[in-house]
Chain A
Amino acid sequence: MSEKILEIKNLKREFKMGSEIVRALKGVSFDIYAGEFVTIMGSSGSGKTTMLNVLGCLDKPTDGEYLLDGNNIKKLNKNELARLRNRKIGFVFQAYNLLPRTSALENVELPLLYNSDISAKQRREKAMWALEAVKLAERLHHTPSQLSGGQQQRVAIARALVNEPVMLLADEATGNLDSRTSYEIMALMQDLNVNQGKTIVFVTHEPDIASFSSRTVMLKDGKLIKDSRNESLRSAREVLDALPVSDDY
């Protein structure tokens, strides 16, 4: 069995809203191993956003254990969490969150700026490599406004890859894209997962997207209701090829 990247035991997260206590996660347990492609699914209010925040080390659980690559999140302070995010996690957001009027290359370099172990030269090399990995080597100096939505998301994925994280954490990464581009992104994700062995955790509410992952964790009302291997794994590349040639333009 491969290495355990993520270990969650009886995870609880409660929020105080005025006098009421909202229990967003009511004791969830699961593990994720290296090389897995996991989708976390659930409708609004299922607790998947809270789950994402905890997994991304942006939030700490109220109770229960969360170990990321052997680090117990509960024992870390804010700065140590920031360091962990910098070294272990690559975020991909729904709205890309690229810096405006900044070239793709500089956007990708950004996480490495917060890592003082990496020199300016290494930073540039790694960013080039990451942009090549998402097949954007020709658009290094384009700013986000000169890129399409899909290209912007690929820049964002390159930014998530550049620090060589143990886990890519995607939050509705296809939410702002049309289906063709969504499939392209999923194909890229599958490629990264299969050919480069990247562990991917993909939060989504679309079952269509979930069908490209090897495993689906389903949340409902703050509880885990289903954790299953995907038997009929689809290849996004094949789906993409099967699509009729677009006549949109």
Chain B
Amino acid sequence: MSVINLIQIALRALQRNKLRAFLTMLGIIIGVAAVIAMVAIGEGSKKSIQDQISSMGSNMITIRPNSNVSGGARLDATSVQSLTEDDIKALQKNMQYINAVSPAVSTRGQVINGAFNWSTSMQGVSPDYLTIRDWGVEDGISFSNSDVSAAAKVCLLGQTVVDNLFPNGESPIGKIIRFKTIPMKVIGVLKKKGENAFGQDQDDVILTPYTTVQKRILASIYFQNIYASAIDENSTDAATEEVSEVLRKTHKIRQGEDDDFAVRTQAELINTFSSTSQLLTVLLAAIAGISLVVGGIGIMNIMYVSVTERTREIGLRMSIGARGIDILLQFLIEAILISITGGLIGITLGITATKVVTAFLSWPTLVTQSSILISFMVCVVTGVFFGYYPAQKASRLDPIEALRYE
């Protein structure tokens, strides 16, 4: 008996009970649609977190002073001052996997433009900072290395600062503003960057040469952070190694001693956040998976009823020459057809539901190929698994008794 014949037979049997076949399918449809939609929502939030983190500069490496021991007491990381100009020079001299380095010193304060004032943070950085952060200047120009060496009183404004200091829409370029008591010339406006993954406004910032902050405001020779960027995403690990090695040398840290700095990459950050949302995806998928199993049990239930109800038909088929395997395959294919059809409808419904969620709730969603593939496979397996026992029961019937069954 050919498979085509078997599929024909199964299709005819399903046609005879369209409503029941559909209701049985419903369990699978809902299960698959739930899997697709839930995973899409989970994956979507994961993706949006990843995007946000990489918007901070995807190859960015952050170097911070580490908490350190001083006289037996462990000190707060921010109070430790270990990063200096020497580190920058050493990194610039040895860089192989990094293409840009920028120190960062920051301070908070009131910034004033005539009648308007605004409390913001000032970041003292080098011109490379914009490269590292993958950031651009929208209007005006950036400061140069000569501005750095001169500790020039020039600055770049973030969009939020512009909005608050120049609410009337005039161009800030060339204007003199005051940060605390120091007058500074605005030479550029930064592109809008939006919120970062933690919900902080990245545009609420003033960038200025680091020397300006160090010499004119903080009177310090230390940096709070050093930012670097790896030449590409794949070499972040090598770049991390390189940075550690160089800094251990310049800080004269002996073998076996703890670093007095910490090197972190965006990839680590992405992993941390991804693993949280990965957990979310797994939980959602598990809930959806349970509904798929329930759907499978529905199929099994109906197939058992169907076998009992069609005992005479089975007897007849056997008497006209159906072998046990033919009967087994007939019922198995019926179950698989139900689950596959249900699966396909479920996939369509799931994708539609995902689109609806995105359109009306504007949640980030991402339908992955793997979720479609996996849920479809699970459908087939469900059909085979839950269809097999009823089918086997049918195939083992005695034709004599089946024919006389009332």
A binding-site residues for B, Cβ under 8 Å = 53, 56, 58-59, 78-79, 82-83, 85-87, 91, 93, 95, 97, 99-102, 106, 110-111, 113-116, 159, 163
Instruction: Find the A residue at minimum CB distance from B16.
Output: A101
Binding site for A on B (CB under 8 A): 1-2, 5, 8-9, 12, 16, 312-313, 315-326, 399-400, 403
Nearest A residue to B320, CB-CB: A111
Are A78 and B323 in contact, CB atoms less than 8 angstroms apart? yes
Q: Name the one of A87, A93, A99, A114 contacting B403, with C-beta atoms under 8 angstroms.
A: A93
B392 to chain A, nearest CB (A): 15
Q: Please, which residue of chain A has its CB at the minimum distance from the CB of B312? A: A97
* Closest chain B CB from A188 CB (angstroms): 19
Which chain A positions have C-beta within 8 A of B322? Answer: 82, 86, 114
With a cutoff of 8 Å between Cβ atoms, the chain B residues found around residue A100 in the complex are 16
Residues of A near B399 (CB, < 8 A) are: 58
How near does chain B come to A180, taking the closest CB pair, in angstroms?
27
B2 close to A116 (CB less than 8 A): yes
Chain B interface, >50% SS class: helix
Flag if A99 contacts B324 (CB, 8 Å). no
Check A114–B16 contact: CB distance below 8 A. Answer: no
Question: Is the beta-carbon distance between B1 and A114 smaller than 8 angstroms?
Answer: yes
5 examples of A-B residue contacts, CB within 8 angstroms: A56-B319, A79-B324, A97-B313, A113-B1, A114-B317
A86/B313 in contact, CB under 8 A: no
- Chain B nearest CB: distance from A150 CB in Å? 19
| CB-defined contacts of B324 to chain A, threshold 8 Å | 78-79, 82
B16 x A59 contact (CB < 8 A): no
For the complex formed, measure the closest distance between the CB of B294 and the CB atoms of chain A, giving whole angstroms: 30
CB distance B321 to A86 under 8 Å? yes
Cβ-defined contact, B323 with A113, below 8 A: no
Residues of B within 8 A of A99 (CB): 313, 316
Is the beta-carbon distance between B317 and A110 smaller than 8 angstroms? yes
**Nearest-neighbor residue (CB-CB) of A171 within chain B:** B403
In whole Å, how far is B44's beta carbon from the nearest beta carbon of chain A? 46
* Contact A83 to B400, CB < 8 A, known contacts A106-B12, A113-B1: no
Structural contact, A91 and B319, CB atoms closer than 8 A: yes
CA–CA, A51 and B196, complex, Å:
86
Judging by beta carbons under 8 Å apart, are A116 and B320 in contact?
no
Complex partner residue of B323 from A59, A82, A111, CB under 8 angstroms: A82
